[in-house]
A = this chain, B = another copy of it.
Amino acid sequence: MSLPDRPLPTLRDVANAAEVSVGTASKVLSGASGVSEARAQRVWDAARRLGYRRNGIAADLRRGRPSSIGFVLPDLTNQFFVDIARALENHALEHGYRLIMAHADEDPAREMERIRFVMSGQVAGMIIIPCRGYEHAIDEVRECNVPLVMADRVDDSFPADTVTTDSHAATFDGTVHLIGLGHKRITFLVNTLDLVNSRERADGYVDAMKRAGLDSYIRVVECGMTAAEIHASTLDVLSNALRPTALFAGGNVTTLGALRAIRDAELRLPEDISLLSFDDAPWMSVLRPYLSSIRQPVEAIGHAIWQLMLKLLNGERNAPVHLSFKAELLVRESTAAAPAVQAVLDGA
């Protein structure tokens, strides 16, 4: 390569070259005031000439206040989390913070390890979307007294700031929509009931069914975290003699798995079966029929998380705040009236 491993110039080098003291150079380069025009210019020149780069890490160390934020998320495969990551990344960088991302891959052990590791990099705050069984992991953060905001897979009982979607309301509404279409045998597909928000989603469905007097039709099936597992479980559901006339998929990935199963079972959407998806995604728009779905306000959520974090960063430590956002039901083409034949067979 071209250059020998000449070490990067330091603040001292710049100061020497500019013939000022380190203190003065520091003031100039960190944008503080109180230095004469002339010397400031000399410093800038020297810095440019030497190709000086400020060592942000050393500055952090000295200041005792890091400028990185840790962000741990459970699954990069899930568009919803990625969207949040994207929003956070923007907010953070806008405010002069680096975002250190780590992904737990839905594995609690790994999550714990990653949280520790990220925190060893001295972060000013942590934002976490947990995976199941996260309690220990969170303790780590709290013990360190690091500002913490949790999102999505938490409930209001959590002793830290949280931002969530009102899952119960969302699935309640969705289920009402399905019922309004004449469906009775509605099956709710959920990844796992170990997750608070998944539980809430299931509850919303259950409550709506009950309110409609459809108690005996309630079916909640846990079908796993991966598309493959979900595919299998759904196939199972569909092969049942009395198969449901509508499927309510409890999330992004679940929808994908369910869709594959529907395809494999050679069922027509929505003539044979209706499908409602919790979580919206760009690709849903190119499906025929266009998927009906529930859209979480990702941008708003990302923004809220960041606002909460900012407050914490500024030292405002009040009682934990729990923000909840309303999701939007997008009725499109994959949810239609229940098949007439089935209604007859039901003898209802």
Chain B's closest residue to A319 (CB) is B1
Chain B's closest residue to A62 (CB) is B61
Task: Say yes or no for A208: interface residue by CB 8 A criterion.
Answer: no
Task: Say yes or no for A100: interface residue by CB 8 A criterion.
Answer: yes
A132: min CB distance to chain B, Å: 20
Residues of B near A60 (CB, < 8 A) are 57
A51 and B101 in contact, given A93-B114, A122-B56, A263-B288 (Cβ under 8 angstroms): no
Task: Say yes or no for A89: interface residue by CB 8 A criterion.
Answer: yes
Q: A82, B76: Cβ atoms under 8 Å?
A: yes
Task: Say yes or no for A5: interface residue by CB 8 A criterion.
Answer: yes
* Interface-side segment among A38-46, A150-158, A279-287, A294-302: A279-287
Cβ < 8 Å to B, chain A residues 306-326 = 317
Residues of B near A61 (CB, < 8 A) are 55, 57-58, 61
In angstroms, Cα B61 to Cα A345, docked, is 73
A117: min CB distance to chain B, Å: 7
- Residue among B103, B121, B256, B282 making CB contact with A57, cutoff 8 Å: B121
Q: B286, A260: Cβ atoms under 8 Å?
A: yes
Task: Say yes or no for A186: interface residue by CB 8 A criterion.
Answer: no
A236: min CB distance to chain B, Å: 18
In angstroms, Cα B147 to Cα A57, docked, is 18
In angstroms, Cα B346 to Cα A53, docked, is 63
- Residue among B121, B122, B317 making CB contact with A1, cutoff 8 Å: B317
In angstroms, Cα B189 to Cα A22, docked, is 56
In angstroms, Cα B98 to Cα A99, docked, is 11
Task: Say yes or no for A227: interface residue by CB 8 A criterion.
Answer: yes
Q: A85, B76: Cβ atoms under 8 Å?
A: yes
A86 and B93 in contact, given A3-B145, A98-B118 (Cβ under 8 angstroms): no
Task: Say yes or no for A119: interface residue by CB 8 A criterion.
Answer: yes
Q: A143, B51: Cβ atoms under 8 Å?
A: yes
Task: Say yes or no for A144: interface residue by CB 8 A criterion.
Answer: yes
In angstroms, Cα B257 to Cα A285, docked, is 10
Task: Say yes or no for A171: interface residue by CB 8 A criterion.
Answer: no
Chain B's closest residue to A255 (CB) is B286
Residues of B near A117 (CB, < 8 A) are 93, 98
Q: B103, A89: Cβ atoms under 8 Å?
A: yes
Task: Say yes or no for A36: interface residue by CB 8 A criterion.
Answer: no
- Residue among B3, B120, B282 making CB contact with A55, cutoff 8 Å: B120
Residues of B near A286 (CB, < 8 A) are 256, 259-260, 263, 287
Task: Say yes or no for A66: interface residue by CB 8 A criterion.
Answer: yes
From A1, A105, A260, name the one whose CB has the most chain B CB atoms within 10 angstroms. Answer: A1
Give 1 or 0 for each of A60-102: 1 = CB within 8 Å of chain B CB. 1100001010000000110000110110011001000011111
Residues of B near A260 (CB, < 8 A) are 285-286
Among all A-B residue pairs, the 5 with the closest Cβ atoms = A283-B283, A259-B286, A56-B120, A57-B122, A76-B86
Q: List 8 A–B pairs whose Cβ atoms lie within 8 Å, in order of A's numbering.
A: A57-B66, A68-B100, A76-B89, A93-B102, A98-B100, A256-B283, A256-B286, A263-B286
